[in-house]
Every structure is written in C-alpha cells, then in structure tokens.
Amino acid sequence: MSTVIINTYRNMFKSVKRNLTILLNMVICTSVIFILLQNYYYLKDRHDDYFTSGNIASHFEISFADEDDGGLYYSDQLNKTPMYYVGQDLLKTMESDPRIMLYGLTYSNFLPEDYVDGVNMTPYAIEGVNEILIEQYHFSKNTQDAFELKCDSGRFFQEEDFNVDTDDPVPVVLGYNLQEVFKIGDTIHLKNEYYDDRAVVIGFLEKYSSINAWETVNYMDDAIVVPGDFPRDFEELEKNKERKLGLSSDEEFTSITSPCIYVMDETMDLQKYVNSLTAKNGFYTLCVQATDGVEVTETKSISEKNVMLIAVVTAVTGIICLITLGMVLYNRALEDLSTNCIYLLCGIPLWKINTSIILEMLIWAALSCIPACMISQLEYKKLMVSPVLLFAFSAIVALIALIPTLRVMKKVNLDVFVRNRIIV
Amino acid sequence: MSFIELKNINKSFGKKNSKVDVLEDLNLSIEKGELVAIMGKSGSGKTTLLNILAGIDTPDSGEYLFDEKPMKIRNAADGVKFRRNNIGIVLQHFALINDFTVSENIEVGLWESGLSIVEKNKRIIEVMEQLQISDLKDKYPGKLSGGEKQRVAIGRAIICRPSLLLADEPTGSLDSSTEENIIKIIQDLNKTNGTTVIVVTHDDEVAKSCMRTIHLEKH
C-alpha cells in the first residue's frame, strides 16, 4: 500500500506546471458537467413539486404570488444578483405584453391624513379602531382596461401616475363605498409595519366594480387601487425616482414582489411563454404561478432549448478537455517510462504503479469538484448537484483520459530499458 | 548443487527468416558467494543472459535453476516478484530517478519490503555509510558525478539484501579511477555480504577482479 501512496504523492507534486494543467482541465470539465446536470435537474422539476417544497425556492426563484414565500417581499437572497436583473427583464416583458396582465393584492392600514393630526375623525374609524385594514390592489398599466374597470367620478390611472416622484403622494383610486368618507384630492396615509406613505385620491370606482379571474369575483367597493408596486420608499425607488411595478429593494430586502399573473387568452400556453422568456434571459430558474396563489402551473423552470445548448457546449468543452487531459497524461507517461522501468526492476509490480496513477486521477477528480460545489453553495446556498454524482462524472472523465497512459504502461519493455535504448 | 544452474538454454530473436540464435545450448553453474564476470563480444548474448537470470526475459528452451529451484517465469508479474525477493540490478546508465534525492532513490529498493519506516531508515543509513555516500543523501542525481551515481545505483540494488547482484557494464560509463573504486565496492559487497555477483562486462580489468570469467562466443 505504501508503494501506491508514495508514488501517488510523487506524481501529484513532482511537476507543478503539469499537474496544474491536469487540475485545470479537470475543473473545467467538472464545471461544465455541473452546469449541465444542474440545468437538467431544473428541467426535470416542475414548479409545484419543486419550488413549493422547501428551502430552495427562496434562494433563486422569481415568483409571482407564491404564498409559501410570503410573496417574496422579504427575500434577501436576490439582492443585485443576475437573477434580480433577469427578473426585471421578465417583468418588463410581461408588463408590455398585452396578453399578460399583472396585478397584486395586499392589505394596508388606511387612514385619513387629518386623523393623524387629531382633527376631523372620520366615520371609518369604527368602534375605537382608528385604522382600517383594507384590500389594496396593485395595477399594472393594462389592468384597468383588461378588467374593463371604470371610474364613477374622477379618473383612472394615466401613464404619469406610474412614475410619480417619491416626494409626491401616490395617486390612488378608491372603491365606490369610500366616497362616503373621502373626496377627490384628499390625502390619506397607507401604512403597515413596513411602510408609511402618503396617497392622494384621484377617483372612485363604479359601484360593483370587480376583478373576475379564475372563476372568482373580487368586488372592490371597499378597496383601494394603487398604480404599480407599493410601497415605494425603498432605496432603489428613491434613486430611480420611478415607480417600478413588481420590483423593490433596499439594503435588507431585494425581491420581486408578487403580483398575480392573469392570462387574458385562456388558450395561451403559459409554460411555453415562460420558457421562451427564460430562453431569452439565460438559464436561470423562473417560476410562475398563474393562479390566485393556491394552484400552480406546471411551469418548467428552464427552457429545454437552453439545456440543449448547454449540453452541446458541455460536450464540446468536455471533449476538448478530455483530449488535452489525455495528451498531458500520455506525455507524462512517456516521460515517466524510465522511472517505471526502474520500479519494475526493483520488484514493484505494474498493478501498483497503475493503481497509484488511477488513485492520483481520482484525487484530481475529487479536487476538481470543489469549485463547482463552492459556486453552487455561494449562488444557491445549496449543493444543487450531488457531490457524489459530480465526482462520479469527473472520475469517469479522468479514467477515460487515462486509457492511453495505461496502454503505454502495458507496453513497457524492460529488456530494451536494460540495453539503454528506446523503451516502448 | 549450484546456486545458479542453467541447462541447455536456448534463446533466439526474430522470426523465421531473420531469426538470430543468441544463446545456444548454454550450460552454466555459479556457486553461492561467487563473483563472476561474463565477457563476450557485442551480440554474444551477455545482456540476454543477464535478462534471463533477472527474470526479465525467458529462454526459448532449457532449464534455469535458482537456488536449486526451477524458475517458472510465465509473465512479467512473475519476473517482478522474482526480482523483488532475490535480485539486485545495476545498469551501465545508472537508472536513477532524477526527481528523487539519493536517499529516496535508494529507498525505492525497499518500497515492497514491508519494513517499518524506522527499519527502512536504519538500512538506508547503513548502505550509504557502506558506499560512502552519506553526505550526498539529499542531493539529486543531476548534481552527482558518474561514480557517485553508480554508487547510488548499487545502494538501491543491495538495500533489499538480494542473494544475487547482477551488474550490466557497471563501469562502462566511468573513467578509470572511478572504475577501480566501483570494482572495489563490488568486491567488498561480495566478500562482506556474501552476495553472489554476476558482472557483465567487456572490460578485462573488471573481469580480472572477479573470481571467474565466463566467455560467451558470438554465433
């Protein structure tokens, strides 16, 4: 055994340059295999049995109305990651697509500004409760038209309402019943434990206005409608001076918020649609929940096209690495022939020499898994691909690359070596 | 009964038309503790004989008895096993591993010995003292003279205390003063350790220093 260990050690450390080449090739090979396997897993997993199953989802999903993750408002995993920007692109694309409508539903404590100053308590402060929990709808630019909502008085949102300066109050449209309390031009507070912002009333919905989606009718007579996302006082919004639907961020929280997606055309294949977006934006996982937050689509998290592309890249890179690795090992075997002849003359069996070479390659294979595992851990806080599987793949690569070397070793001719001539 | 006995050994190379008979009906006996020189012209089969004695090659026919036991080398692995337990080999071109130090080169001969690290180190020190190369133990072969290299090669060959030391032109690459030194070392090993030594050489001086000389004729 000691012979195998000593010779393995010698092989690993005698030539730094050559061994770095071996390791580099193995790392590249293992990494491309890792990327392929990871994306293959994404392809296999469906939204419902993957992203709602546990701790993985919060790390990289861009989800809409995923209740398991609290709407993703408070995810701290996406801050300025590539995923964040992919999410922005996705939302912009969806928002500008007439077939897709985004809207959100949250709740705010809602109270008139005058009440804050202790003046003119309103009838809406009932039974000693000074704040009213109210349904708060977030509308994108096409939502009002899509649901054919109209105002009883005042006006609905216009283009400029989606780009209000953070110093100005948010324009809001109130439900029909709230006309009893407010009038157009009133300033109110919208707040909960995370935000406190001012809003100005610009209109009131018609009586019995509702959102009719997924066979559920949501009446909005006591609701409030805000343009785009809310709250808006996060650092990112202050910087941009622009309200962005579905995106908000600050030092602690960076996430895609959770508007619902309503597909206008019932025949539209949302899965295909999302796959086309993921294909455009890269191979990140994008999951979409196209219902009211309970049911989920069978949305694939990655485009099949991308996996095919990655498979081709992996195959090409893998073959290049395999050839390079094989050549490095082959040349090393030729250089080491005299050493191996000396071993054989000293009574060291060939199988032990070969075992030490195989052991060395297995060690390189194991080491080559480390960068891929580290990337996985850093990016996803989880080993996306089993290290054992990864090691098995890289070990196979290493062993294939060893075939020419082992063939050379088999041909070692001691008679020729003793005569001080060419050995093979 | 002799320590080494070759009976009617035949060995040829090449195929039918280009077949060359190198050894033909060779009979040879060497006693234990002998220091024997094998001489002959180039192509007379000296190295072929050495290879057969070392288990590197096998005769086409005939019988090889080593320590009264018939040798049956069926494959390369049998030859390796035979050498590990019985043979030390010294070659003209030293055959040292360049990225190993002197002591590491010598230690290679003990890799398969099964000795503990302490015992190995003890034996390495003994051999280096015997060959007067203790001060070279951390040097690499590239920094050594021809004579020093050959002493290291001898050290590696005798470290496992073989019963037979085979030397193929051990002084072939050395100048005359170094040659004398190496011959003396081989003689000492033969006397002190009782090792049977077979030296293949074409040098008369080397042959004269041996107890007996066997001449091989070219066919």
Element (H, E) at A249: strand A247-249
Q: What is the interface pTM, i.e. ipTM, of the complex?
A: 0.91
Pairwise CA distance, residues A260 & A244, whole Å:
15
Give residue A406's Cα distance to chain centre: 44
- Residue A19 forms contact with B (CB below 8 Å): no
Nearest CA in chain A to B168: A418
Give percent of chain B with pLDDT exceeding 90: 33
Amino acid identity for residue A137 in this structure: Y
- Residue A360 clears pLDDT 90, i.e. is over it: yes
Give me the pLDDT at residue A126, please.
37
Residues of A in contact with B93 (CB under 8 A): 420
Residues of B near A (Cβ–Cβ under 8 Å) read: 47, 50-51, 54, 56-57, 76-77, 79-81, 83-85, 87, 89, 91-93, 95-97, 99-100, 108-109, 111-112, 156, 160, 168
- Closest-CA distance, B11 to chain A, in angstroms, reads 13
Mean of the per-residue pLDDT values of chain A: 68
- Residue A337 forms contact with B (CB below 8 Å): no
- Residue B95 clears pLDDT 80, i.e. is over it: yes
Q: Are A110 and A229 in contact (CB under 8 A)?
A: no
Pairwise CA distance, residues B217 & A324, whole Å:
51
The average pLDDT across A195-204 equals 80
Nearest CA in chain A to B54: A345
Least confident of A152-156, A252-256, B119-123, B152-156: A252-256
Q: Do B84 and A347 touch (CB under 8 A)?
A: yes
* Closest in B47, B50, B80 to A344, CB measured: B80
Domain borders along chain A are 2-39+304-418, 46-281
Give residue A41's Cα distance to chain centre: 14
Give me the pLDDT at residue A314, please.
83
- Residue B103 clears pLDDT 70, i.e. is over it: yes
* The most confident of A74-78, A175-179, B212-216, by mean pLDDT: B212-216
Pairwise CA distance, residues A343 & A360, whole Å:
17
Per-residue model confidence as pLDDT tens digits over B32-75: 999 999 998 888 888 899 999 999 988 989 999 998 889 888 88
Least confident of A256-260, A342-346, A376-380, B127-131: A256-260
- Closest-CA distance, A10 to chain B, in angstroms, reads 9
Residue B70 sits at φ, ψ, to 5 deg, of: -70, 135
The average pLDDT across A104-129 equals 45
Mean of the per-residue pLDDT values of chain B: 88
Give me the pLDDT at residue A229, please.
56
- Residue A362 forms contact with B (CB below 8 Å): no
Residues of A in contact with B108 (CB under 8 A): 342-343, 346, 348
Give me the pLDDT at residue B85, please.
79
Pairwise CA distance, residues B156 & B102, whole Å:
9
CB pairs under 8 A between A and B: 72
Residue A420 sits at φ, ψ, to 5 deg, of: 65, 45
pLDDT higher at A66 or A392: A392
Nearest CA in chain B to A340: B97
Give which of A4, A418, A420, A421 to mutate to test B binding, by max B Cβ within 10 Å: A418
Q: Are B101 and B152 in contact (CB under 8 A)?
A: no
- Closest-CA distance, A342 to chain B, in angstroms, reads 7
Q: How confident is the model at residue A87 (pLDDT cuts 50, 70, 90)?
A: low
Q: What phi-psi label fits residue A118: left (phi over 0), alpha (psi between -120 and 50 degrees) or beta?
A: left
Q: Assign A131 to helix, strand or coil.
A: coil
Nearest CA in chain B to A344: B80
The average pLDDT across B67-90 equals 87
Give me the pLDDT at residue A116, please.
38
Nearest CA in chain B to A11: B99
* Closest in B47, B89, B92 to A345, CB measured: B89
* Domains parsed from chain B with CATH numbers: 31-59+79-216 (3.40.50.300)
Q: How confident is the model at residue A261 (pLDDT cuts 50, 70, 90)?
A: low
* Closest in A3, A349, A418 to B47, CB measured: A418
Residues of B in contact with A350 (CB under 8 A): 76-77, 80
Residues 6+ positions from A308 with CB-CB distance below 8 Å: none
Element (H, E) at B38: strand B35-40
Least confident of A133-147, A170-184, A303-317, B4-18: A133-147
Residues 6+ positions from A296 with CB-CB distance below 8 Å: A47, A48, A52, A289, A290
**DSSP 8-state symbol, A386:** -
